[in-house]
Amino acid sequence: MATQACPACGTLHDVGIYVSGKRIRCRACGIPFTVQRAESLVAARAFRSRHAVIRQPSRPFQPPARSSARQRKAADTTPSGGSLFVPGYQIKEMLGKGGMGRVYRALQVSLDRWVAIKVLNEDLAKHHSFIRRFEKESGALASLNHPNIIAIYDRGCHEGVYYFVMEYVGGPSLRRRMHDGLKVRECVQIMSTLCKAVAHAHRRSVIHRDIKPENVLFTEEGVLKVADFGLANIIAPDGRWELTRTRVSMGTVNYMAPEQRRDAKHVDGRADIYSLGVIFYEMLTGEFPVGRFQPPSRLRPGLDPRLDRIVMRMLESQPSRRPQNADLIAATLDSWLQEAGKPEANRQGAASADSGQSTSPRTSGRPR
């Protein structure tokens, strides 16, 4: 069977019934592309090889001059090699790039403050479906007003360049903080804050669907911010899921709930709770919960078994068996923090989170 991947989303298509040059539409993302049969490519190469003419160079060969790292970085900070211009902002540098677009640090001239500007990739800006998805991300951010979610300031289109302006976060990502090492109490505090931010989004019918350490940022003052709602699913008032196509798997595989891998469209907030569970497990143990994984306390001796129960329930394969509300997880973690912060004599045998000692856990409420 002759197959070819969609250049936009990577979905494989059976192109055996088509001739090279035929335009077909991707069944997953809807973007049209041109069929290139493998045998046609081989024949074309063979023809060029048979008819190739060997020419003597008219002058000695000179290897191309290597560009400096600074020149390469400068060339890579614009969407199409030219200068990027957004009215009212001075673009300073590119912060990162992904499948949908690039993010730049910029100065907002009118208010003299740093902002982040996300720009839709030029090739994707030619397709209405990707423009809608890009605008959906800015709309999702605009509907949320929470101290631990990145705020959006503006959006627009200038000379074919689609962009939106959001809060700039200059501190490290959660990935960096995990690499540097986290105490158990820090892990619990971070997870509690994350759960509260995600619960706020869920109350406004926004499902993130791509929660991972790279999308959790910290300001220079240490305030946590959830970022990158590029795959967010917005549930309409009548209960319909908008924009995402059925049977498309979207997100980062290591952090995706089982049901999200099968069908990203029909997931709800419990898929985000699973992703949070993966992050929590990884923060506590430094490993991914893959296959028949052990409770965190088996990998981190001295860890309070009560945290095991919370993490393992968040990682249940069946959505109905997970905590149904991120707010309840946050409340349970806050209770654990209060209990762990009490003097030893008043804990009634509860385990100390950071001392490395484990005692019989005190019965506590579990998230439901």
Q: Which residues are catalytic?
A: 210
Helix and strand numbers, DSSP H then E, in the chain: 10, 13
Cα–Cα distance between 229 and 152 in angstroms, integer? 11
Cα–Cα distance between 119 and 115 in angstroms, integer? 13
Q: Are 171 and 217 in contact (CB under 8 A)?
A: yes
Report H helices in the chain.
38-50, 69-75, 128-142, 174-180, 184-203, 258-262, 269-285, 296-299, 305-314, 326-340
Cα 164-225-120 angle, rounded to 5 deg: 25
Q: What b/e readout covers 275-305, taking b as 16+ CB neighbours within 10 angstroms? A: bbbbbbbbbbbeeebeeebebbbeebeebbe
Closest CA to 164 of 221, 101, 212: 101
Residue 178: how many other CB atoms lie within 10 Å: 18
Helices 269-285 + 326-340 axis angle, to 10: 30
Token pair, residue 222, equals: 């240490």
| Residue 126: partners with Cβ closer than 8 Å, 6 or more residues away | none
Residue 176: how many other CB atoms lie within 10 Å: 13
Q: Are 288 and 254 in contact (CB under 8 A)?
A: yes
